[in-house]
Structure 1
Amino acid sequence: MIRDYQAIQRTWFLKGKQRIIPTYGKHEGVKLLGILNYETGYVHCVEEERYDAEIFLAFLKGVLKLYPTGKIVMILDNARIHHAKLLEPFLKENKDRLQFVFLPSYSPKLNMIEGLWGWLKSEVINNVFFSSVKQIRKAVQGFINSISKVPSQVINRLCLRM
């Protein structure tokens, strides 16, 4: 989740003159689901109101439509929604098209999509005050649109480190 109260991160300031980023104390934000094609650098993100197994299942169906042929291997963390019983019939039905590979627990450095979220936060969110979730949403969409225009940059930044 890209929250509306991002922290100051990696900033320089004179001693005693720490930069202050205002906040309005609400716990709102933008919830994103995304995939990153490490071969092409294509990034596909969708924003949702919540994270749960139903939303993740709908996302998976969208991924299969986005890539209508061939086998898709998804590298995932061990979030509960990735192991939900609700997914089992869908995964069984699509076992020839969709395979999950789960990363070890607490290993975000192995997960390329976590690199994308970190990049997004460092470029767009951190050290900035957004007065509304709408502004956060616009900034996030702008970032995704801009990196989508230069897939080689995505590959160089996120995929070559593996």
Structure 2
Amino acid sequence: MNTRAWIVFLDESGVSLLPQIRRTYAPRGRTPLLRHRLNWKRASMAGALGYHSTDPERGARLCFHLKPGSYDTAALIEVLEQVKVFYRGENVVLVWDGLPAHWSRTMRAWVAEQDWLTLERLPAYAPELNPVELLWSSLKKRELANLAGDHLADVADATEQGIHRINTNPQLPWSFLAHTGLAIHPPHPPNLRKDQ
């Protein structure tokens, strides 16, 4: 495996026109009401959060994709093609979970033709190791909280605002990684100085 690569965590999540109900503030005696149409229209979002394996000065990078419906292998290959463009063909080690579409025969055949991409699998039942899960949590607690949109475009707009908020805060993506307990840049052993 190339050690000068982007370590990229990818995950998908669903959103719908049904609001993500969260606690909120209101003046005493005026309980807030959330009115919405009972609408089951859904969209799916994919986030690829990357950290360079040898150069933390390059910062964290977030690539985001939103589509109506859900992801299958063909749609995920489209997402990975966008990831390739986003990372300008640099080497990427992609870390994701065991979703069948991630490891299908078609996906594995497509990946085998990609010289820039290596796949690694997260352990089963370990979403806490994926920093993108914290990205979803951040979006759903802020921009998507109590959002009663009439159209999927309303959800898309709110989501894009959240992605912009996260992209403009250079510490936030690193805090997502720190929360998982994983480290891309392990510290030097205590008995060695950098100049040795």
Tell me the TM-score range normalised by the shorter chain: 0.7 to 0.9
Equivalent residues, number: 159
Q: Structure 1 pair 73/128, CA: closer, same or farther in 2 (3 Å)?
A: same
Displacement of 1:143 in angstroms is 1.1
Structure 1 gaps of 5+ residues are: none
Q: Which has a greater percent of strand?
A: 2
Distance in 1 separating the partners of 2:113 and 2:151: 41
Deviation sequence 1:82-108 (CA, Å, 0-9, x none): 0121112221122x4212221222222
AA of the residue aligned to 1:49: P
1:75 corresponds in structure 2 to 95
Equivalences for residues 93-112 of structure 1 within 5 A: 93-94=113-114, 96-112=115-131
Displacement of 1:117 in angstroms is 0.9
1:131 corresponds in structure 2 to 150
Say yes or no: does 1:91 pair with 2:104.
no
CA RMSD between the two structures: 2.4
Q: Which has a greater percent of helix?
A: 1
Structure 2 gaps of 5+ residues are: 1-13, 53-58, 182-196
Q: Structure 1 pair 126/98, CA: closer, same or farther in 2 (3 Å)?
A: same
Q: Structure 1 pair 108/19, CA: closer, same or farther in 2 (3 Å)?
A: farther
Q: Structure 1 pair 22/108, CA: closer, same or farther in 2 (3 Å)?
A: farther
AA of the residue aligned to 1:93: E
Higher relative contact order, chain-length normalized (CA < 8 Å, sep 6+): 1
2:63 corresponds in structure 1 to 44
AA of the residue aligned to 2:130: N
Q: Structure 1 pair 23/106, CA: closer, same or farther in 2 (3 Å)?
A: farther
TM score, norm. by length of structure 1: 0.84
Q: Structure 1 pair 160/80, CA: closer, same or farther in 2 (3 Å)?
A: same
TM score, norm. by length of structure 2: 0.71
Contact residue 84 and residue 90 of structure 2 kept, 8 A: no
Distance in 1 separating the partners of 2:89 and 2:106: 24
2:79 corresponds in structure 1 to 59
Larger Rg: 2
Say yes or no: does 1:114 pair with 2:133.
yes
Distance in 2 separating the partners of 1:118 and 1:79: 20
Contact residue 34 and residue 146 of structure 2 kept, 8 A: yes
Displacement of 1:9 in angstroms is 2.9
Contact residue 30 and residue 47 of structure 1 kept, 8 A: yes
AA of the residue aligned to 2:45: L
